[in-house]
């Protein structure tokens, strides 16, 4: 079937409700209706999925395997029906059944198999690859529990397990026949084959069965459906009930436990490496399964494994899948008997690595003993890769030990996964221009000098299908009414909006839409936070993971400062503002959690202070995730992108705000630099130290925040209020650590390592400019429209075309039905 008529769809929904729940539509719950609609939509997808596969087989296409521990997909139903162009039929059919599409969409749990930027980027990339017609298989893990659900209780973050599969996932398909075995532990025995060649055999290992579940990735209006393949672990069923051999029994139980634990939960750490053995198990599990499968698939159609790079690319999404390099070597050496040099040639033409962060805490390093015990054969191979690489370095740099220290893959008892990824890949890319320059000139300088040809930049992007067409229908329709619908697949067409930016009627239409989106968010806030906010106030928004480098603390300190000013002068004439935050903190990140509490405590005081007449409000949106993000971007006036310059590799939220007509208030960091390049410095609010300045201070060992503290009464006052009970009447110590971190060196950590006090005044000034600008509605509307008009570069379609052109070299396919 190609498409549904309303009658056909209605019948299909009725059938599914009946078959699945033994009910009629009128008796079914909303959740059940969601399932029935999703299954009906899946029936449409299946046809295109099969046809896409057929074309891939027939044309023997080159495929990119996007290896990622995280895919932050967000809900599928709404986007699937948009991309199938069947959303109108679904909407009308549901309406005739007395249901609203929006309400049915709300029933889908957010698949949250990711933390933040890196996982969401992977999801945007898959959608763009399908829309552009390139073959991809996203390879990941089917976590039983995704990113935790955040509850705010008394201002504190609580974590609730995210049981997203409880009711089953209607879109997934288990692929039993594609299962493979992944081997952990044991030891390696060396023998010789009949030709006297050394053979390495892993023995006495614990096997785990990897079973893939495929999820469809539907392209926009082109019949292309790629797959996200997430692996689940199952114990190998060799429980022999007849045998009461105790040894076997215990071994079987052990294997059950291993299998059960691997895919249990996503590590909720963002940018902080914890070094847990289970995480390494997860990494090797999904990498080994994906690589084995890719090689098997290749060999179905080809004779010579040495030609693998012509058909297969492994793109490593950060260092998390770095073991790919060694796993592919293992398969080529042990299973296909290639020589080391042949195997290395194939591997280094197949693997490519993307770096997503310069934060040194995020660099993955594994203790040798842990690594070697879990992956004995892989460890041998990593050792040999390192030995050969070190020979090369010694030769080239005449035993320069500084070079060895920086570049070794194994050093100081640890295996450095970034170095393994770089050495084993033909391409190393950063995710924004500034980030790539920092990699080349600082972080990865030695590798850049050794192999400059590997390094390249791929500035991130976002999919406009989700973040405008689905998330902001009012604005999407308005844009289409002005410039046509080509922007949906060619975002650069947005440029045509520029001519409307100065037209007073268009300005009014645009601001009306923004207002309606603010009303929608205000209702959500009313319902969830029990706080009334004024849609006429400036919606000033910072939503992203909570991390000190992202500086939510700077934002809330500005709110404290404003509040202080208002207290001094309650008649002060300011434009009412709603400061909106949304952020999850890693469960073990104490200081981040204290900052969440601080934001909520400030909100509690400010929101309930009658004397300031509601001029400022602070809202913390609980459980920030893809689904509520879409609504938040649509309603934002100001986009807070205020990371310490040099720390945010790119950012992608910044692009989603821009696309929705919010104006950036930010530092010259990550992709903000390129946003400003596109929209013009005059249409953004830029403040703070540059990345060069930050790096210079860091090389000098920091700066002295006490100088600023002593000279600046405003700063001193708000900092005092962190510890005098002003915002925490019951526990004066609540925010003491946060306070002290801004002033004192502590255990190797510099005072104010993220330059909050240093940038504070510059930020306050930028905020005053925001305020002035908002008083001029024509200016604001114009600048906001210009932000939408100049967002073209930030489509993930553009990013993907660059990956294809420079790294992957894929061929586009067309799928006809
Ligand atoms: C090992 C723990 C860990 C977990 C996650 C280390 C590192 C990560 C990610 C690399 C963190 C991340 O999401 N990075 C973000 O990637 C985005 C997509 O490229 C960028 O836009 C963000 O700037 C970057 O912080």
- Convert the pLDDT of each residue in 460-498 to its tens digit: 999 999 999 999 999 999 999 999 999 999 999 999 999
311 within 8 A of 350, measured Cβ to Cβ: no
Ligand 1 center–CA 149 separation, angstroms = 20
Q: Give the separation between CA 145 and CA 346, rounded to whole angstroms.
A: 36
Query: Please, which residues have CB within 8 angstroms of residue 31's CB and are 6 or more apart in sequence?
Result: 107, 167
User: What does the pLDDT average to over 640-659?
Assistant: 98
Active site residue 311: no
Q: How many residues does the chain have?
A: 817
Q: Which of 435, 656, 721, 758 is catalytic?
A: 656
pLDDT at 240 > cutoff 90? no
CA of 633 to the centre of ligand 1 (A): 20
- Pair of tokens at residue 147: 């990113």
The yes or no reply on domain 63-75+110-460+802-808 and CATH 2.60.40.420 is no
Q: What is the pLDDT of residue 238?
A: 63
ipTM, 2 decimals?
0.98
Q: Which of 652, 664, 667, 799 is catalytic?
A: 652
Closest residue to atom 21 of ligand 1, CA basis: 651
Q: Is 5 exposed, middle or buried (0-12, 13-18, 19+ CB in 10 A)?
A: exposed
pLDDT of res. 220: 98
| 3-class secondary structure, 518 | helix
Contact 582, 528 (CB under 8 A): no
CA 606/CA 530 separation, integer angstroms: 15
Tell me the mean pLDDT in the region 648-652: 98
Q: How far is the CA of 360 from the centre of ligand 1 (A)?
A: 12
- Please, what is the end-to-end C-alpha distance for the chain in angstroms? 9
Task: State residue 271's pLDDT score.
Answer: 81
CA angle 556, 560, 563 (to 5 degrees): 135
When pLDDT is cut at 50, 70 and 90, the band that residue 728 belongs to is confident
Which residues, including other chains, have CB under 8 Å from residue 707's CB and lie 6 or more apart? none
For a pocket test of ligand 1, which of 270, 461, 657 has the largest count of ligand atoms closer than 8 A to its C-beta?
270
Q: Is 652 among the residues known to form the active site?
A: yes
Which CATH number is correct for 479-791, 3.50.50.60, 3.40.50.2300, 3.40.605.10, 3.40.50.2000? 3.40.50.2000
The DSSP 8-state label assigned to residue 315 in this structure reads: E
The number of beta carbons lying within 10 Å of the beta carbon of residue 727 is 25
Q: Domain segments of the chain: what residues?
A: 63-75+110-460+802-808, 479-791
Ligand 1 atom closest to the Cα of residue 435 is 23
Contact between 649 and 558 under an 8 Å Cβ cutoff? The reply is no
In whole angstroms, give the CA distance from residue 810 to residue 800. 11
**Catalytic one of 356, 465, 514, 798:** 356
Give 195 Cα–ligand 1 centroid separation in angstroms.
48
Q: Please give the average per-residue pLDDT across 555-573, as a whole number.
A: 96
Chain centroid, CA 496 distance in Å: 30
Q: Name the E strands within 154-291.
A: 156-160, 173-174, 180-184, 187-192, 198-203, 206-218, 225-234
Q: Ligand 1, atom 22: nearest CA belongs to which residue?
A: 651
- Asked if domains 63-75+110-460+802-808 and 479-791 share a fold, the reply is yes
Query: Which position among 293, 320, 454, 545 bears the catalytic label?
Result: 545
CA–CA gap between residue 226 and residue 139 (Å, rounded): 12
- Of 266, 271, 461, 544, the residue with max ligand 1 atoms within 8 A of its CB, to mutate for a pocket test, comes to 271
- What is the rounded CA–CA span in Å between residue 631 and residue 296? 43
8 CA to centre of ligand 1 in angstroms: 44
Ligand 1 pocket list (CB less than 6 A): 115-118, 121, 269-273, 318, 356-357, 362, 364, 431, 460, 648-652, 670
pLDDT tens column, 158-177: 999 999 999 999 999 999 99
Q: b/e per residue, 430-444, with b = 16+ CB within 10 A? A: bbbbbbbebbbeebb
C-alpha–C-alpha distance, residues 762 and 767, integer Å: 9
Question: Which residue of 273, 322, 356, 585 sits with most ligand 1 atoms within 8 Å of its CB, as the best mutation to test the pocket?
Answer: 356
Cα–chain center distance at 495: 27
Best mutation site among 649, 794, 802 for ligand 1, i.e. most ligand atoms within 8 A of its Cβ?
A: 649
Pairing of the two strands 663-666 and 577-582 = unpaired
Q: What is the mean pLDDT of the chain?
A: 97
Read off the pLDDT of each residue in 124-148 and give the average, rounded to a whole number: 98
Buried b / exposed e along 61-77 (16+ C-beta atoms within 10 A): ebbbbbbbbbbbbbbbb
Q: Is the pLDDT of residue 729 over 70?
A: yes
């Amino acid at each position: 079937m190609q498409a549904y008529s309303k009658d056909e769809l209605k019948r299909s929904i009725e059938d599914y409700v009946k078959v699945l729940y033994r009910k009629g539509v009128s008796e079914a719950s909303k959740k059940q209706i969601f399932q029935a609609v999703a299954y009906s939509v899946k029936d449409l997808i299946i046809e295109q999925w099969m046809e896409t596969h057929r074309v891939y087989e027939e044309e023997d296409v080159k495929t990119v395997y996007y290896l990622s521990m995280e895919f932050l997909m967000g809900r599928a139903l709404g986007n699937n029906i948009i991309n199938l162009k069947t959303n109108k039929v679904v909407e009308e059919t549901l309406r005739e059944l007395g249901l609203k599409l929006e309400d049915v969409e709300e029933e889908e749990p957010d698949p949250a198999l990711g933390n933040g930027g890196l996982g969401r980027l992977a999801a945007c990339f898959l959608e763009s690859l399908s829309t552009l017609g390139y073959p991809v298989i996203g390879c990941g893990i089917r976590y039983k529990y995704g990113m935790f659900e955040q509850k705010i209780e008394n201002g504190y973050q609580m974590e609730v397990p995210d049981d997203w599969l409880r009711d089953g996932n209607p879109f997934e398909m288990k692929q039993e026949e594609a299962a493979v075995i992944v081997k952990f532990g044991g030891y390696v025995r060396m023998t010789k084959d009949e030709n006297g060649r050394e053979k390495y055999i892993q023995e006495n290992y614990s096997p785990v069965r990897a079973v893939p579940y495929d999820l469809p990735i539907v392209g926009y209006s082109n019949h292309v459906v790629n797959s996200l393949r997430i692996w689940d672990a199952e114990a190998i069923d060799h429980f022999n009930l007849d045998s009461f051999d105790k040894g076997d029994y215990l071994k079987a139980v052990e294997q059950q436990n291993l299998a059960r634990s691997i895919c249990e939960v996503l590590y909720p750490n963002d940018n902080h490496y914890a070094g847990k053995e289970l995480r390494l198990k997860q990494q090797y599990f999904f990498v080994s399964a994906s690589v084995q499968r890719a090689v098997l698939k290749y060999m179905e159609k080809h004779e010579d494994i040495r030609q693998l790079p012509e058909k297969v690319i492994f793109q490593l999404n950060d260092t998390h899948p770095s073991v790919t390099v060694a796993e592919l070597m293992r398969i080529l050496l042990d299973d296909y008997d290639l020589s080391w040099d042949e195997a290395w040639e194939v591997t280094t033409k197949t693997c490519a690595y993307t770096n997503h962060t310069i934060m040194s805490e995020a660099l993955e390093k594994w203790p040798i003993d842990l690594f070697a015990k879990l992956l004995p054969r892989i460890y041998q191979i990593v050792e040999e890769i390192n030995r050969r690489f070190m020979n090369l370095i010694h030769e080239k740099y005449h035993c320069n030990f500084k070079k060895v220290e920086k570049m070794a893959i194994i050093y100081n008892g640890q295996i450095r996964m970034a170095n393994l990824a770089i050495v084993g890949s033909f391409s190393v890319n950063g995710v924004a221009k500034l980030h790539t320059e920092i990699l080349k000139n600082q972080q990865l300088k030695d590798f850049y000098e050794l192999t400059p040809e590997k390094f390249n930049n791929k500035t991130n992007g976002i999919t406009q299908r989700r973040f405008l067409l689905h998330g902001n229908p009012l604005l999407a329709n308005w844009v289409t009414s002005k410039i046509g619908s080509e922007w949906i697949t060619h975002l650069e067409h947005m440029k045509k909006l520029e001519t409307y930016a100065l037209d007073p009627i268009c300005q009014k239409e645009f601001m009306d839409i923004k207002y309606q989106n603010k009303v929608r968010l205000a209702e959500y806030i009313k319902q969830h936070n029990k706080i009334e906010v004024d849609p006429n106030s400036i919606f000033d928004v910072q939503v992203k993971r909570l991390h000190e480098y992202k500086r939510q603390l700077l934002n809330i300190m500005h709110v404290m400062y404003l509040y202080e000013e208002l207290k001094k002068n309650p008649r002060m004439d300011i434009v009412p503002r709603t400061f909106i935050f949304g952020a999850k903190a890693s469960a073990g990140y104490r200081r981040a959690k204290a900052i969440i509490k601080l934001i909520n405590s400030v909100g509690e005081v400010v929101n309930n202070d009658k004397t300031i007449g509601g001029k400022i409000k602070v809202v913390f949106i609980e459980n920030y995730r893809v689904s509520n993000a879409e609504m938040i971007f649509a309603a934002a006036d100001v986009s807070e992108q205020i990371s310490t310059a040099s720390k945010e590799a790119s950012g992608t939220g910044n692009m989603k705000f821009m696309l929705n007509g919010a104006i950036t208030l930010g530092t010259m960091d990550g992709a903000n630099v390129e946003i400003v390049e596109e929209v013009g410095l005059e249409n953004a609010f830029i403040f703070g130290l540059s990345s060069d300045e930050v790096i210079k201070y860091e090389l000098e060992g920091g700066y002295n925040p006490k100088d600023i503290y002593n000279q600046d009464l405003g700063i001193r006052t708000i900092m005092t209020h962190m510890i005098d009970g002003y915002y925490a009447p019951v526990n004066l110590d609540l925010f003491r650590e946060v306070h002290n971190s801004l002033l004192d060196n502590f255990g190797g950590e510099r005072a104010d390592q993220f330059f909050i006090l240093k940038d504070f005044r510059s930020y306050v000034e930028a905020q005053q400019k925001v305020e002035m600008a908002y008083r001029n509605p024509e200016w604001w509307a114009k600048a906001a429209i210009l932000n939408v008009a100049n967002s073209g570069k930030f489509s993930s379609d553009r990013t993907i075309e660059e990956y294809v052109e420079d790294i992957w070299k894929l061929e586009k396919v067309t799928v006809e039905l």
